[in-house]
Amino acid sequence: MEAQIQIDTHLDIDFKTIRNSMDVLRAIHHKLRYEILNLIHQEKTMTVTHIYARLRLEQSVASQHLTVLRKSGVVKTVRNGKFIFYSINYDRLHEIIGLSKELTNGKMPLTFAPNN
């Protein structure tokens, strides 16, 4: 009597996790958000007012982009009275870059600068 081999034809992929991962990568792969990150990096900590004034943006535009960066964990916030101060979460940024390099087996040069 031959043993029958059961082959599972269901591919178990967690598309929600993959989608969330793509959103995190998109958060830092954007020209304006890259400029915001560089500015915060140079100044160490900044308020949205300082960011939009320095980059000559509308306040709402700067706030929207900061929200994307905050949700991805790339920037941290600290409230001091009515002001919210933004700073770079370097641990998270290095984690993202490290995982990206691992996924590409180190074959693609990954820098902090986006292509678009």
> pLDDT for 44-100, tens place per residue?
999 999 999 999 999 999 999 999 999 999 999 999 999 999 999 999 998 888 888
What pTM, to 2 d.p., does this model score?
0.74
Complete domains list, the chain, with CATH: 25-103 (1.10.10.10)
Task: Indicate if the pLDDT at residue 115 is higher than 70.
Answer: no
SS3 46: strand
Q: What is the C-alpha to C-alpha distance for residues 32 and 66, in angstroms, rounded to an integer? A: 10
Output 3 or 48, whichever has higher pLDDT. Answer: 48
Q: Residue holding tokens 């929200």?
A: 67
Q: What is the C-alpha to C-alpha distance for residues 38 and 75, in angstroms, rounded to an integer? A: 11
Length of the chain: 116
What pLDDT, on the 0 to 100 scale, is given for residue 116? 45
Angle between helices 59-71 and 15-28 (to 10 degrees): 130
pLDDT cut 90: percent of the chain above it: 54
In angstroms, the Cα distances linking 76 to 2, 8, 48, 85 are: 61, 43, 13, 8
